[in-house]
A and B are shown apart, each in its own frame.
Chain A
Amino acid sequence: MNAIIISALWGVVMMFGGVFFKKSTIPKYWAIAGIIILLAANILEFRGIQIFNIDVKGMLHFDNFGLQFNTISFICTFLFFLLNGREIEKVGENVSEYFALIFFILCGVSISSSFNTLLMLFLGIEIMSIPSYILTGSDKRNLKSNEASLKYFLMGAFSTGLMLMGIALIYGGNSLGSFYINMIELGTGKMPVMIAAGLVLLVVSMSFKVSAAPFHFWAADVYDGAPTVFTSFMATIVKIAGFIAFIRLFQVSFGIIQQQWQMLIAVITAATLLIGNLTAVFQQSVKRMLAYSSIAHAGFMMFALFALNNTAKEGLILYALSYSVATIGMFAILVKMSDYTIEGFNGLYKYQPVLACTATIFLLSLTGIPLTAGFASKFYMLLAAVKDGHQIWLVVLAVICAAISAVYYFRAIQAIYFKEPPAGAYPQLDVTRNFKYLLIISAAIIILAGILPSLVVDWLYY
C-alpha cells in the first residue's frame, strides 16, 4: 500500500513541479529523492509497517513475492535514474513530466504485484501501459519515435480490449459474480467453455504485454523507436512487472488446473525463445539486438509460468534483478555511444576500459555465464522446469537458445576487445567519473547476486 500511494503522489508532485522548476537539471534530484522515499516506504512495509491504513476490501494483497519484486524494481529504477539522469534531460523539454510518468508506471507496477481481483489487475496493467505509450513518443520531433508510440498505443489498446473481454467472460462464467481471483469456479474435470475462452484471452493479452511470441511484433519496433533511455526502462521493469502479474494471476486463479493450459504456455515459451534468439542474431544495431534479446529473455521468464512452483518464483525474482540491472547498464553505455551499430563498439576497451569491462560483465550475465546473476537466474528457471518434469524437450530447447544467444552477445564482446578502433582520433564519449563508478557498482551487483543468489532469494521467506 505504501508504495502505491507514495508513487502516485510523487508522480503528481513531479508533474506540477514542472511548472516551478526553473532549470531542467532540477527534476532529476527530486526524482532521485522520490525513489529513495519509495524504496524506504516499501522496505517498511516489508517489515510490516503500514504508513497508510486503508481498507481495500481484500482487492489488494501484499505478500513477500510482490513486495520483494517492488523492492527490486525500485532499486533498478534508482540505478536507472542515477545512470541516465543526464540523458533523460536531453530527450525533450518536459523533463519533469518524464519523471512523473515513470512514477506513475511504478504505481502501476506496485498494483500489478499485489492485485487480488481482476479489476485491480486491469488497473495495474493499464497504469503501467499508458505512461509507456507517452514515453515512447516523448521524442516529439523524431518520426520513428512517433511511429513507435502510435503503433504501441494501437496494439496495446487492442490487447487491453482482449483482456477486458477475457475478464468479462470469466466474470460471466462464474456463478458467484465475483472479480476476486481466488474465487473463480473452475468446475471439476475440464473447465467450462466460458472460463476456457476467458483464460485464452487473458493469456493472449498478457503475452502481448510481456512481448511473448506470437504477440511480440510490436516490441522490436517500439524498443527501437523509443528514446534509448526509456527503452531500457520499458524493456526491463515494465516487462517484468507484466510477468509478475501474469504469474500471480495464473497461480492463484488457474494453478490447480495447470495441466489443462500448460501446453499452451509451453508452445508460447518455445516460440518466444526461438523467435527472439534467432532474430537477434541477424541484427546489426546493438539497440535492435537488445530489443530482440529482451524478447528472448521473455521466453526464459515464461518458464516461471510454465513450471509455476516455488523455485520458479524464486527464479523470476532473480531474473528480475539480473536481467534489469544488466539491461539498464548495457543501455546506459549504449546511450553514450555515438554509433549504435556493433561496429560502433570496435576497440572500445582501448579508449574506455571501464565501460568495456562493465559492458562485458553485463553481456556475460545476459548470456548466462556462471559467476554472474544471469547464470543463477537461468539455473533457477531450468531447475524449476525440470522439477515440473513434464516437458523436458522445452528445457533442451531453452538451453540451445541460450547457446544461440551467445552468438550475438559475444559479437559485441568481440567488437569491444578484439577489433581495432576507428582510425584517427578515438570517439569522444560524454562519460563522467561518477557514471563509471555506478557502472562498476552495477557490475558488482551482478557478480554478487551470481555468487550468492540466496541473498536475493531468501527474502521471499523472510
Chain B
Amino acid sequence: MLGTYYTFPELLLWIPLLTGIILFFIKNSKVVKTVALLSSLLTLGVSVTSLFYSDIAHHPEYFNYSNVSYVWMPYIGSSFSVGLDGMGFLLTFLTAFTFPLIFAATHKREYANTNVYYGLMLLTQAGITGVFVATDALVFYFFWELALIPMYFLCSRWGGEFRIRVTFKFFVYTFVSSLLMLIGVIYVYLHTPPVSTLSDHSFYLRSFYNATLTRGEQNGLFWLFFLAFAVKMPIFPFHSWQPDLYEQSSNSSVMVLSGIMVKMGIFGMLRWLLPIFPDAVGSYQTLVIIFCVIGILYGSSIAFVQSDLKRIVAWSSIAHIGLMGAAVFSANNTSLQGVMLEMFNHGINIIALWIVVDIIEKKTGIRKISELGGLAIKSPALSIFFLIIVLANIALPLTNGFASEFLMFTGLFEYNKYLAAFACLSIIISAAYMLNMMQKVFFGVPNTFTENVGAITMSQKFILSIIVLTIVILGIYPGPLLHLTQGSVTEILQKFK
C-alpha cells in the first residue's frame, strides 16, 4: 500500500471520516478525546509520509499531480478522482498539522456530548481535506458543501448566546453562494471536451481547464464562482457573517473555521477560478483588488476599536484575508507564491492567537481587553509566546508572516503601485492594534480579574513552543515551502499567456 504514492490523498480522507463516524458511537469522553487526537496524529503521519513518496525524483523542480480515480457516474462524466500537487499538499499538510494542535490545545475543555463534538470535528476535517484533494468538479462541490454541514452543527450546538442565529446566517451565505457556483460548474461542464466515450462532457479538472468559453461567458461565470469563494474567505462586502460567528462559536470550531476553512476559498480561487477564467480575471482583477484593499483597511481599522479579544482577532483576519485576495488577483509569480506561503502561515498564526485567547478566557473568564491586565507578571511564559505570535501577525522580519507578506506586497506592487501603497498601510494599523492588545492584556498591574491567574501548564507550553518554532523556522527559511508550490503557481500562470 505504501509503495504506491497514489493512495495518500484517499488515506487523508478516509482516516478522519471513518474515525469521525466511529466516535459518534463511543460514550466515554476520555476515550473519545484520545481517539480523536490519535486519529489526527495518524493523518499527520500520513501527510508527512506522502511527501517522501512524491515523485520528486521524476520532477525535481516541483510536485506533480498524482491522480487516482474511481468510476462514479460515468454517464455524466464524473469520477471520484483525488490527487495532490504542491498546493494541495501544502493545504492538506496544514489541515493535518493543525488538527492535532487544536485537539491538544483544547483537550481540557469539557463539552456536552463530547463524542458528537469530536465526531463532527473529524468529519469537518475530512470535508476540508476533500476540497483540497478533489480533482473532479463534482467531487469538489460535494466536499465543499460537506465541510459546511458538520461545521454548521458544531457552531450551532456549542457556543455563545446568539450562536444559532449567527451560524444560520453563515450557513445561508455560503449555501446560496455555493449553489450559484453549482450553476457555474454545470455551465462549464457543458462546454468541456469529452474524455471518454460514455459521456459528451467531463467534470475532470483538466477538462475544465480546456473548456471552450467565450469572453462573455467567462465574465458571467467568473462571478458565480467568485461569489462562492469570496463568501467563504470572506472578501470585503461579503464578510458580515464572520465577526459574529467567530465571537459566538466555541474556540476550537473557530480555530478550524478561521485557520483552515477560509483557506478553502483562497484555494478554490487558485485552483478553480484563475485557471478556468483567465480572460475574466483579466477584466475584473482591478475591481476585485480594490475591494480587497478596502477590506484590508476596513478590517484593520475596525480591529483597532474593538474591545473583545475574539473580535479583534476576527477583524484582523479580515484584513489578512483581504491581502491574500489582492495578491491572488495580482496574478504574478511573486504574489501567488506569497499567497501560498501566507495560506500556511496565516493558518498557523491565527490558530496560535486563538489558542492564547482560549487560555486567557479559561483562566480569567473574560475577553474584554479593558478589564484584563498584568498577565505578564502572572504568567510570563504565556506573554513571551504571545509576543512572538503577535509579532508574526504584524509580519516582523524573522517571523513567518514577514516572508509571505513581503512576497505578497511585492507582487501587488508589480501589479499596481498605488493600490499596494494603500494596502501597506495595514501593516502600520495592524502593529497598532496588535501591540495595543498586547499592552492592555499583558502589561500593567494585575486587577481583580487577573490576580489569581497562574502560570501555564507544561502541555500548553509544549503546544505553544511547537507553534513558535514553526513561526521562527518558516520566518528564517521559507524556501522548502516555496519550492513545493512553484509547480502549481507556474501552472496557474501558464493560463495567463
Contacts and interface: CB of A to CB of B under 8 A. Distances in A.
B157 A370 contact: no
Contacts of B141: 370
Contacts of A410: 168, 171
Given A370-B142, A383-B76, A406 B157 contact: no
Contact of B182 (A364, A379, A387): A379
Contacts of A14: none
B384 interface: no
B298 interface: no
A369 B172 contact: no
A395 interface: yes
B190 A387 contact: yes
Size class of B's contact patch? 20 to 34
A452 B78 CA distance: 11
B451 interface: no
A87 B146 CA distance: 36
Contacts of A414: 156, 164, 168
Which 3 residue pairs of A and B lie closest in terms of their CB atoms, listed nearest first?
Answer: A403-B176, A399-B179, A370-B142
Interface string A344-387: 00000000000000000000100001110001000100110011
Interface in B165-182: 168, 171-172, 175-176, 179-180, 182
Contacts of B168: 410, 414
A369 B147 CA distance: 11
A382 B164 contact: no
B157 A396 contact: no
B149 A364 contact: yes
17 contacts: A369-B145, A370-B141, A375-B145, A379-B182, A382-B183, A383-B76, A386-B187, A386-B190, A387-B190, A399-B176, A400-B176, A403-B179, A406-B171, A406-B172, A414-B156, A452-B72, A454-B75
Contacts of A407: 172
A386 B73 CA distance: 19
Contacts of A452: 72-73
Given A383-B76, A386-B186, A386-B190, 9 more contacts: A370-B141, A370-B142, A370-B146, A382-B183, A399-B183, A407-B172, A410-B171, A417-B153, A418-B157
Contacts of A386: 183, 186-187, 190
Given A379-B182, A382-B182, A399-B183, A369 B73 contact: no
A453 interface: yes
- Looking at B75, B153, B189, the one whose CB has the most chain A CB atoms below 10 A away is B75
B175 A406 contact: yes
Contacts of A392: 183
Interface of A: 311, 364, 369-371, 375, 379, 382-383, 386-387, 389, 392, 395-396, 399-400, 402-403, 406-407, 410, 414, 417-418, 452-454, 457-458
A414 B183 CA distance: 28
Contact of B183 (A371, A375, A396): A396
Interface string B48-59: 000000000000
B156 A370 contact: no
B145 A396 contact: no
- Looking at B74, B153, B172, B182, the one whose CB has the most chain A CB atoms below 10 A away is B182
Nearest to B148: A369
A329 B180 CA distance: 29
Contacts of A417: 153, 156-157
Contacts of B187: 386
Contact of B172 (A383, A395, A403): A403
Contacts of B75: 454, 457-458
Contact of A383 (B146, B157, B164, B186): B186
A370 to B, nearest CB: 4
Interface in B430-445: none
Contact of B146 (A371, A453, A457): A371
Contacts of B146: 370-371
Contacts of B190: 386-387, 389
A264 to B, nearest CB: 23
B249 to A, nearest CB: 13
Nearest to A384: B186
A288 B183 CA distance: 30
Interface string B62-102: 00000000001111100000000000000000000000000
Contacts of A403: 172, 175-176, 179
A336 to B, nearest CB: 23
B183 A395 contact: yes
A379 B164 CA distance: 28
A348 to B, nearest CB: 14
Contacts of A406: 171-172, 175
A193 to B, nearest CB: 37
Contacts of A453: 73
Interface in B129-149: 141-142, 145-146, 149
Contacts of B182: 379, 382, 399
Contact of A418 (B156, B172, B179, B189): B156
A399 B172 contact: no
Nearest to B220: A392
A385 B171 CA distance: 26
Contacts of B186: 379, 382-383, 386
Contact of A454 (B73, B153, B157, B179): B73
Contacts of B164: 414, 418
Nearest to A410: B168
A330 B149 CA distance: 20
A371 B261 CA distance: 20
Interface string B151-169: 0010011000000100010
